[in-house]
Structure 1
Amino acid sequence: MLGQNSPFYQALVPSWVDAADEYYSIKGAQITKEEGNVFSLLKSITNYDYADLKTAAEKMAESRNESVLLTDGEYFQKSIALGNVNNPYLKDAFTKWLKKGHDIYIFSEPYQEPYKGAIYNKKRFYIIFTDSRLEGNIYDKITQTVKLEAYPQVEMFHLSASHPALAAESTHTTPNEMLSAQVKGFGTFEAQEWQVDWEDAIEPYIVNAVSNSTGQPLPDGAAFTGKLKIDRNSFGGYRITDVTVRSYDISQEFTNFCNAKNAGQKVGGKITPTEYKNFVKIDESEFKKHGVIDLHFDTQNFDPSILTGAPCTYFKLDICISSTENIFKQYEAMFTFDSIDQPGQKNVSLAESIKQCLAEPSIKDMMATSPIYTIYVKANKR
C-alpha cells in the first residue's frame, strides 16, 4: 500500500501537515501516537501486518476532531485464515460519524501491486472524517490547494446524511416582484419582509394570477418566491427525488419574543408553532425537471382567514426532503479491488461498509427528515 512515491499522495501531504495536530500509526493491534514532525512521518510510512483498521476507524468516529485514514482497504485478522473480502468492517465507524451530522469524503486512487509473480489491481483510500460546514476543513484545504483535475485516475465520493447543500452557497430565493420584498439571506435560511397588502396585491396578482398570454387563471397562481436550486446528490449515496414544504404561523411566537426582549427577559428556546395546512406548495414539475424550488400558495385550498397576526403576520416555511433513492450502485466500483489472498476474487469490504451504512434505518431516517432551507416571512395584517 505504501504510496509515498505516488504523485497524488505527495500533492496531499501539505494539506495534512497544515491540518494535523496528531499522527497515529496502526501497528497491528497497537494504535500508536507518534512523536515527531508530521511531514517526516508521512514520508516514512511502514507497512504492518494485521493492522486493526476497524478499531482505528471507530476511534476516529468517536472523536470530536477531523481525521484522515490512509489504507489499502485490506483488513486481515489472525483468527481468520483469509482476508475479510466482504466484511463491512467500517460500517459502524461510518454510521457513527454520519449520525453526528458530519461528512465523509473518500478519495480512491488505483495502483498495481506485484505479489508472488502476479500483478494485482489495488486501490489506495484516503478516508476523510470531517464536516463540510467547518471553515477551513481538511477537504476544503485539499480542493483549494490541489489541482484534482491533474489526477483523472483518482475518484472522489462524498457521504452525508444531513445538511443537503444548495447548488450555490450563500444564495437566497428570489421573491415575486409584486411583493416589493426586502430579503436577507443567512446561508440555510432567509428573512423576507413583504411591503404590500394581501387584498390589494398578493391575492389578486399572485394567488389568483392569470396568464399574460391568455388572460386565463393560472392553476397554481404565480410563484411568490423561488429559484432556489439544491444539489440533489449532496448525500452521495442517495439522490433527493422529492421535497415538500411545511408552513407555520409564528405571529404569536414572534410577539412573545419581542415582548420578552423588550422586558430584558431571557429569550430563545424551542417553539411549537401551529402548522398551516394547505397553505403553500412546491412546483413539483419545476423541481423534477431542474432541481429548482419555486413556492406557490395552495390556490385550491387557500383560506386567508387563517392569517390572524396583528399588527403583522409572521410565518415560517420549512423546505424538507420527502423522498430519496439509493444510487450507490453507480459508485460501487470505486471501492472494489483485487484480493491478494484470494486470487480471482474481488475485495468488496469497503463497498459493503458503505452499502450497509446507507441501509441503516437511523441514517435513512436522518435523510428523510433533513431540512433543506427555511424562509421567515413578515407580511402585513390580512
Structure 2
Amino acid sequence: MDFAYSPKVEALRTQVRAFMDTHIVPRIRQWHDEVSAGQYPVSFMETLKDKAREEGLWNLFLPHLRDDEPGTRLTNLEYAPLAEIMGRVSWASEVFNCNAPDTGNMELLHMFATPAQREKWLKPLLDGKIRSAFAMTEPAVASSDATNITTSIRRDGDDYVIDGRKWFITNAAHPNCQIFIVMGKTDPDAPSHSQQSMILVPRDTPGVKVIRNIPVVNHVAPEGHCEIEFKNVRVPRSNLLGEEGSGFALAQARLGPGRIHHCMRSIGAAELALELMVERAQARTAFGKTLFEHGTVAEWIAKSRIEIDQARLFVLKAAWMIDNVGAKDARKEISMIKALVPTVHTAVCERAMQVFGAMGLSPDTPLADSWTWGRALRFADGPDEVHLQSIARMELKTQPYAPGKDNPYLTPSV
C-alpha cells in the first residue's frame, strides 16, 4: 500500500496548482461580486472551463473513461490529491468539470445508462454543457435510511408517473441544470432494499416545481439546495436508469467514490484554513506577543497539522481500497473517512476563525463560508451517526461475542 505520488500525479498537481494560482484565485473577488449582484453562472466560468479542457485538466475524476470520451483517466488514488487542491476554492471544481453532484451522476450514467441515455445526458455532462441534480432526500422521512423514501414511481402504460417531494437537492437552482436523477419506489411490497428505482426526469417536465432554494446555516448557495415538488410528472419508461428495484444498489455505487471527492476537497479547505491561521498567528500581536507565542494558538496549529495529515492518509487509503478491492469491500473505510473528515474540516476552520477574531466571522476571509460547508457535509451523503453505526456493526462482525469463551488477555485476580 504505497501512497507516494507518482511522477504523473506530481506533474498534474503542479499543473492544477499553477492553473488555480493563475486563473482561479485572482477571480475569487469577482466571483463573489457577481454572485452578490445576482449574476450566476458567473461571466468567466465558460472561459475557464475551455482553458482547463485545453490544458488536459478535464473530467479527472472518472477512472473508466472510454477512448471517445473527453477527460483524463485517473484512479481514485491519483485523483484524490488533485481534488484536494481544487477544494481550496469552493467553486473551483466546476472549472475542471469535477463538481458534485455532476460527478456522481456522470458515474451513474457511465455505469448504468442505455446507449440513448448516454447520448442524451452523459455526453453533454462530460462536455460540461449542462448541469444535473440527484433527488433522493425527502422532508417527510429520515432519508438517511433510503428504504424510508416515499416518492412513488408507478407504471402507466408506456410511461412512469412520479409523485413526491424532495429537498436539499444540490444544483437544482443552477440555470444550466437540465436533468434530475430521481430516486423513488416502484414496488412498495418488494423486499426493503428492492423497492427503490432511479429515473431520469428532465428539468422542464410538466409537474416539476422548484419550491425554494433552502439556505444552509442561513447561507444561500447560488447553485441551490432546493425543495422540489414532483406532481403527476410523466416520463417515458425508457427513462428508467438500470432496472426496477435497483435504486438502492445504484445509490451505493454512486456514493463510494463521491465521498472520496468530498473528503479530499474538505482536506484542501482545511489546509487553506491552517495556512491562514499560521499567517495570522505570526502577523498579529496581542498583549505584547504575537498570537503564535500564546500557548493556546500554538497548540491549535499543532493539532490542526496532525489532524489534517491523519485525515489525508486515511482518505488515500480508502481511495486505494476502492481502486484495488472495490467500493463494496471498502465500505467501512469509506464510512470512516466520511465520519472523520468533515469534523476535521470544521475544527480547523473554527480554530482559524478564532485566531482571526471578529474578522473570521466576516466575508473578508473564506473561513466562515468554509466552516458552513464543512458543517453541511456532516449530513451530506449520510449523517455522521449513520456512518458510525455502520462502522460499529462491521467491527462487531469481525469479532463476534462468544458466551463462555474467556479472552486470554484477561487475567482476573479471582
What is the TM-score of this pair, normalised by structure 2? Answer: 0.25
Greater Rg by CA: 1
Of Structure 1 and Structure 2, which has the larger fraction of its residues in helix? 2
- Structure with larger RCO (C-alpha < 8 A, sep 6+): 1
